[in-house]
Amino acid sequence: MTKRIGMLPNPFASDEWSRKGNPVLPYLAESIQSHGWEVVAVDREEVLHPERLVERDLRIVHLHWPTAIFNPHSREFLRFSIPPVVWRFVPPRLFWPLWAFEDRFIDFGRVRAEIEGWARRFRDSGIALVWELHDLGSHHLTRVSKVREADALLHRTVFDLACGVVFHEESCAAPVFEEYGGEKPYAVARLGDYRPVYGAEVAPSEARQRLGIRGKGTVFAFVGTPRPNRNPALLCDAFLRVAGPEDSLVLAGNTIDRYVSGGSRDPRIRLFTGRSQPADRIRDVFCAADFAVNHAKRYLTSAVVRAALSYGTPLISYPFGSTIDMARDAFVPIEDTENGLDDALRRALAMPPDGRAALVVAARQRNAERQWQNMGVDCVALYEKILG
């Protein structure tokens, strides 16, 4: 048996996003290789034309995101989703606006044929596909219903095609199998400690001083890229409704200023936005916070949750997907009600010191239980099971 897998995207990429923004891929590849398997990078064109993978003597492809194959934001998607007659009459500079805002220009039949045709070719190649699920879908797609429909078709097609799936916690299995109406052999690859990524832990007082936090009350934090289902404006509104004059909210991440405007002018709210946040600032936000908030619904797995636990920071989050096991006994649950977020913030504000201290202890325990070097153990067992 050839102990060799291809991985998409490239786990050995050296760009800033790969090293700092999402280090899961290189850590996973390193763990898999430490258990006797070779990991090689494959590209989109090879996966679209699996005969090229056969030529490389690859029998398994480990895929992270289906959009690495068909990205609804790409020019390739445009080429097969818009009928040829449109190309004859529309200047190239207008192709993007057409795709982004007009359902009527997208031929879903052509999209379906392209995705299903690729799946048949891949299945016929005899190569096994293993899909590592980072989420249930692409949460950033909101405007064009046919694009969302295409994204859902792509994810279902990949699930149906996969010989096995990988989750970041055992608690991800139930919602995924419910979503797709069936089960698959699976591995659990738990995310490790993010302190090597963002920096060593510092005292809360030091972090708060650097961030300009002056209040002496409870500090809440929002970290990461906002999405329509993870809208920091909703958190700002809830904070302004329930927080006291000494409480603070820190928001740090890419494009947050697109979502937050008026609320950020309140002196209790500190906003750090921009294309890329320095690693030490992300570290400082987690260290300064009494609670990190991830208020996205149906969020399957979250590096933000895992990073917060790395610094012993309790969470406020919905009890869904990886959070259930990853942050067990270390988070304040948000109930799925109209005022769920407000109520969760209130419970955090009213929590006595020994209550929060227990959450911190649990956060540090969950962190200690999860190390990057163990991430590939279950994956290797899954590969061996698939290949027999």
219 and 126, same domain (yes or no): no
- In single-letter form, the type of residue at position 147 comes to V
Identify the pLDDT of residue 147: 77
345 and 231, same domain (yes or no): yes
List the CATH number of the domain containing 202: 3.40.50.2000
245 and 357, same domain (yes or no): yes
261 and 303, same domain (yes or no): yes
Identify the pLDDT of residue 294: 97
33 and 167, same domain (yes or no): yes
174 and 276, same domain (yes or no): no
Whether the link from the prior residue into 9 is cis, omega within 30° of 0, is: yes
CB 74 within 8 A of CB 96: no
Name residue, tokens 């934001």. 73
Q: What is the per-residue burial (b if ≥16 Cβ within 10 Å, else e) of 21-36?
A: bebbbbbbbbbbbeee
Alpha-carbon gap, residue 14 to 379, rounded angstroms: 23
Task: Give the per-residue SS3 of 77-146.
Answer: HHHHHCCHHHHHHCCHHHHHHHHHHCHHHCCHHHHHHHHHHHHHHHHHHCCEEEEECCCCCCCCCCCCHH
Sheet with 248-253: strands ordered across: 269-273, 248-253, 219-223, 291-294, 315-317, 331-333
Alpha-carbon gap, residue 387 to 348, rounded angstroms: 49
145 and 269, same domain (yes or no): no
163 and 273, same domain (yes or no): no
Identify the pLDDT of residue 259: 87
Alpha-carbon gap, residue 82 to 98, rounded angstroms: 9
What's the total number of domains in the chain? Answer: 2
Tokens of 51: 């005969």
376 and 273, same domain (yes or no): no
177 and 28, same domain (yes or no): yes
Residue ranges for the chain with pLDDT beneath 70: 1, 16-21, 72-105, 139-144, 262-264
210 and 167, same domain (yes or no): no
Tally: H helices and E strands in the chain: 19, 12
184 and 46, same domain (yes or no): yes
Identify the pLDDT of residue 20: 61
List the CATH number of the domain containing 184: 3.40.50
Instruction: List the domain range (segments joined by +) for residue 170.
Output: 4-192+372-387
Instruction: Kindly report the backbone phi and psi dihedral angles of residue 307, in degrees, each rounded to the nearest multiple of 5, phi listed first.
Output: -65, -40
Alpha-carbon gap, residue 225 to 258, rounded angstroms: 11
